[in-house]
A and B are shown apart, each in its own frame.
Chain A
């Protein structure tokens, strides 16, 4: 009987000890962190990419020296990033103090109280107003812009010059230009395609947003971040335009992404490239580029373009809000912005840097980006943005794959689904 007692006691101890150990470990997670010198330490998470991770890493020593705040940086890949953020927010603990967020996540995070509003207005000093506006929700600013991104067109100046045509200024002119390029014997002989659309499922919104608004479509959301109805007639014309562009693209068009189509342009096999400036950076200026010195960038024909971009936001559950906000503001200062643009090809956010001579050596088309940003249109960024953007992605990709019938059918389906989800 005593043996049983001992066994029971041993088993209980064996169970309780690890449990206490685990509890002790987990209890440490939410506590404020301090650096070696007793100053604040913050946990920052950003995108696993040289223009994000590399830039922020390079800025940390200067920031720590200036403020005494330690920064622990984590970089994660884009795939699954949103899941991780949501999980972290849902857990209610401050896994990260400062997060790099895509602007379209602003509303869904802010509406649920996951983000801390930007308290220091000085954090936005010098930042282009268009970029700052991207991170506003319900009248409050929730992030400091990290980079600038707009979908426009890169085009081959040498080829358009040879053909004696100007870059189109409307969707109608674009559709007129495509057959000219398609039927040019020289381009045919060299295997050069008129265009290369990012037709992948994940890029449906970027394509549709640019064309729909270039044709005069109303903004996706009103000033209260509530969805406006889709104009079916304009959406039909947008889909007709996209279908014509897809027909003039290489065979890989329906799986083309922001990474693959710029590579085609850099290889010299495409004349007109609808793409984000952020996914190109200074790559067309490299020695391997076949288009160096023979290309330019401009807004989407018709004027609008899908607005992209990332910003740095402070988590509402952070115990180091002030320190995190300081770092977000530091990254956006003109000096830090310039350093990252020069060393890592980051598209700047400081208005002055868009015309900085040093940056223009590597990114000569930057002033055109600034102009395109002025007329760019945001995608859904409100509380239900995840669903609404996915609907546009899904309907657009299904239409381009020939699964939804005519452009009018697809436009109606889009309008119905957006209305149902609104």
Chain B
């Protein structure tokens, strides 16, 4: 008996292909090497994603103190706390305000910059794009520290330049969140700009030319051609930035520490405090899961809008 020289792929046959006859056992045997090859990846996913997720779900039904010996089942108590915790609800509101306003400002500024460079200054756009990208390349921790110094009421260059006397926008509960939104916008507008600029550059020149020949002015060109064609890309940018801002931790933590009081306390900061200051792992797990569900809903809504926009374009 000789060994077949032709492999399954060369023969047009693949493991588990129902078109090819053979017993279950033979098919399984033939497919075994591929399953073995895939096993490490599946094991890695199970270890890194599935296990922590399942463990988080279990912890959310327990009274569990990190580092303490022993846990106890508490049913839905942690979830009841989530819906009765005023400070957490405040953190949700703060995070929502931060997300909506910072992403909206990033969107408007990014569109303005992208159109500016796309139209009038296209030749220098490559250089300018690199320059614009600098804030995005910095670590949010560094950004937080630098802006804290810039906005210091006594030694800050920016507060001095703006003529603030004994006033720091990050030290006042009334203006700290606005400051955080502005710094977040400063750092992440370049990201949105790059995505939108790429979307603009992908619009076929023929389409634009055809619209112009049909008599479309700049406004009509934007509303009827440019905006619909770039809407899917814009929604992708909103999705990325929206979800990222909902998880914001490093920048607010380093800029204001969540304060003054709870003025800039995001969900992530509150979650961190519960998990690593109070070591209340059970409650922290419940907050994490509820927040994940809320974020998933936001993502689903944006993805639905994206599909709709893509259908309209098609």
Contacts and interface: CB of A to CB of B under 8 A. Distances in A.
Interface of A: 1-4, 7-8, 11-12, 15, 80, 82-83, 86, 89-90, 108-109, 111-114, 199-202, 250-255, 264, 267, 269, 386-387, 390, 394, 397-403
Given A83-B276, A90-B67, A251-B171, 17 more contacts: A1-B3, A1-B4, A4-B32, A8-B33, A8-B36, A12-B36, A82-B277, A90-B66, A200-B257, A201-B260, A251-B153, A252-B152, A254-B173, A255-B257, A398-B261, A399-B261, A400-B260
A109 to B, nearest CB: 8
Contacts of B278: 386-387, 390
A202 B299 CA distance: 34
B40 A401 contact: no
B259 interface: yes
B222 to A, nearest CB: 43
Residue in A11, A82, A114 whose Cβ sees the most chain B Cβ within 10 Å: A11
Contact of B167 (A11, A251, A399): A251
Given A8-B33, A11-B36, A112-B68, A255 B3 contact: no
By size class, the interface of chain B is 35 or more
Contact of A201 (B3, B4, B36, B257): B257
Interface of B: 3-4, 7, 29-30, 32-33, 36-37, 39-40, 66-69, 87, 148, 152-154, 166-168, 170-173, 256-263, 273, 276-280
Contact of B66 (A86, A254, A398): A86
A397 B69 contact: no
B166 A250 contact: yes
Nearest to B279: A386
A386 B7 contact: no
A4 B167 contact: no
A110 to B, nearest CB: 12
B82 to A, nearest CB: 16
Contact of B154 (A108, A250, A403): A250
B259 to A, nearest CB: 4
A366 to B, nearest CB: 29
B209 to A, nearest CB: 55
A8 B32 contact: yes
A15 B36 contact: yes
Contacts of A202: 257
Nearest to A399: B261
Nearest to A8: B33
B36 A3 contact: no
Nearest to B272: A83
A255 B37 contact: no
